[in-house]
Structure 1
Amino acid sequence: MEEKKLDVLQPVDDAAIRLGKTLVRSARYGALGTLDPLDGSPSVSRVSLATAMDGAPIFLISRLSSHCTNLMADGKCSLLVGEPGKGDPLAHPRMTLIGTAKQIPAGAELTLYRSRYLRRNPKAALYVDFPDFSFWRFETARASLNGGFGKAYAMKAADLATSLDGVEALADMEDGAVSHMNSDHLAAIERYAAKIGEEPGGWKISTLDPEGLDLASGDRAARLWFDRPLSSAAELRPVLVALAKETPSSA
C-alpha cells in the first residue's frame, strides 16, 4: 500500500505574507542559484540585493562572473533570503524564491533601480558604472517560506507583490523625499527605528514604497510597515509626519 505523503504546509495567512515580504524587503544579500550551461548543474553565488518599488528583488552583477554567464544562457534561477541569528540557524525564517531573472536595459526603469540599489548598497558606487556590470530583476513565479520549525508555506507571486495602482507618482518623488528626510529629519528617522524596536544610532531611509520604509544603519537593515498601504503619493508626507509623532510604545 502506497504511503500517503504528509502535508506539512500551513495556510498562507496575512502573517505569513507579511513575514515573506519583510524577508525580501530587508535582505542585504541573498544566495542566487543558477544553472551551469555546461551540464545543467546548480551553481550558487552570493549577491547584494535591493528591491524594486513593487517588491521584486534586484541585483547588480558583472558579466565576468559565472552566475551572469549562467543567466545569459538560461534565466531560470532561485534566490534564498533570510539571515540566521543567534542559536540554531535553522530556527530562523528564510524563503526561497523560484523564478527567472531578466537584465534591465537602459531607460527610466534602470535609472530608478540604480538609485534604489545604491541607497541600499552605497559601496557599489565604486563599480556600478563599470561597463561589465548590469542590473537584473528577479521575477518570482512561486516561493517556499520557512518561518521556523513547523511553519512552512507555499507562496504565490501575488502574495509577495506590492500593488502600485494609484501610486505611480511615488517613484518620481522617492529620490527627493528620501534625500530630504535623510538631510533634515534624522531625529524622526530615529523614532521610526525605535518604533520597531531597533537600537538607536545612525539610521537613515534607504528606500520607500506604498507599504512602508526600509531603514539602514551601517550593516543593519530594518523594515517599518505603514498601518495601511498608501492609496496615493500625496499621502506619503502626512504618514511620515504622523509616524514621527507616535511614541515607540504605541507600536
Structure 2
Amino acid sequence: MPNPPRPDPIAAGAEARRLLRGAASATLATQSDGQPFASLVTPAMAPDLGALLLLSTLSEHTRHLLREPRCALLVVGTAEDANPQTAPRVTLTGLAEQVSAAEVPALKARWLARHPYAALYAGFGDFSLWRLRPGGALLVGGFARAIRLPLAALLPDPAALAAVAAAAADILDHMNAEHADALAAIATRRLGGPEGAWRMTGVDVDGIDLAGPDEAVRRFNFAAPAGNSGEVRQALVAATRAARAANG
C-alpha cells in the first residue's frame, strides 16, 4: 500500500491556527524538577498566535513557569466518530512569559472577549496575564495524520499580520456600527449561536471573534487566511451571504 501524501506545511499551519484560535480550553504541560504536570487552562490567541493565559500565582502551574518557562499547550478538536483518536489536535511548544505592563490592557481585553465570564475574577490581585511564545507545533489532523510544524509554517504571514492588524480597529468599528445584522446572521445561522445582538470583538488573518447574549462567544474561521483588509471584507461578505441563504 503506498504511503499517504505528506500534508502541505502551510495548509497544515493554517489548520493548526484554526484549532488554537477556536479553543475555549486546553491542557497546559509544565514540569517541576523533572516531574511533568498537566492542568486545565483557558487560552485566547493574540493575532500573532501568542497564546494568552490568565494565571493565578496560587496555581501550581504558575509556580512551575516562574522557575521553568518551557511548556506545551494541547488543544483538541471534535472527533469524527466514537474513536477519540480521530479528533484533530495540536500541541504548541514554546516559552511562557508574563505580559509586560504596557501590553496588558489590549491583550487582557482580547482574552476577556474570549472568556467574558472571567470578568468576575480577572481583576483579582493574584491573577496576571501570561503569553506562550510559540517555538513550534505538532498537528495531528486525525488518525495517523501527523505533521511537525516549524514556525515558518505555523505563524501567520508577517505582511498579512501587519496589514490586518493595522485595519483591525476600523473593521471592528465599521462592522459593529453598520453591519450588526450581518454579524448576527453569521453567529446564529453559520455558528449555531443564540438569537440576539452580536458584535465583533476581534479580527485577525484567520477569522473573527464574536460576542453575543448571555456571554456567548463564537469563532468564525475564514476559508483561507486573509492577506489584507480587502480580503477580510470579501470573506465577511461571502459569510453573510451564505448565512442569509441558510436562513431561507
The answer to whether the 8 Å contact 2:22/2:219 transfers is yes
* Structure 1 unmatched runs, 5+: 1-6
Secondary structure of 1:165 counterpart:
helix
Tell me which residue corresponds to 1:63: 57
Alignment of 1:9-158 (within 5 A): 10-36=6-32, 39-85=33-79, 87-107=82-102, 109-158=103-152
What is the deviation of 1:79? 0.3
Tell me which residue corresponds to 2:219: 222
- Rate the CA distance shift 1:144–1:226 in 2: closer, same or farther, 3 A: closer
| 2:242 aligned with 1:247 | yes
What is the TM-score when the length of structure 2 is the normalising length?
A: 0.80
| Equivalent pairs, count | 238
Secondary structure of 1:246 counterpart:
helix
CA distance in 2, matches of 1:178, 1:236: 15
Give the CA RMSD over aligned residues.
3.1
What is the deviation of 1:129? 1.9
The answer to whether the 8 Å contact 1:30/1:49 transfers is yes
The answer to whether the 8 Å contact 2:99/2:130 transfers is yes
What is the deviation of 1:142? 1.6
Identical counterparts, % of pairs: 31
The answer to whether the 8 Å contact 1:103/1:135 transfers is yes
Structure number with higher helix proportion:
2
Q: Which amino acid aligns with 2:25?
A: Y
What is the TM-score when the length of structure 1 is the normalising length?
A: 0.79
The answer to whether the 8 Å contact 1:28/1:221 transfers is no
What is the deviation of 1:174? 4.0
Deviations 1:96-144, CA, capped at 9 Å, x for gaps:
111111111200x222211111110111211222221111111111211
Deviations 1:188-208, CA, capped at 9 Å, x for gaps:
01333478x433534543421
* Structure 2 unmatched runs, 5+: none
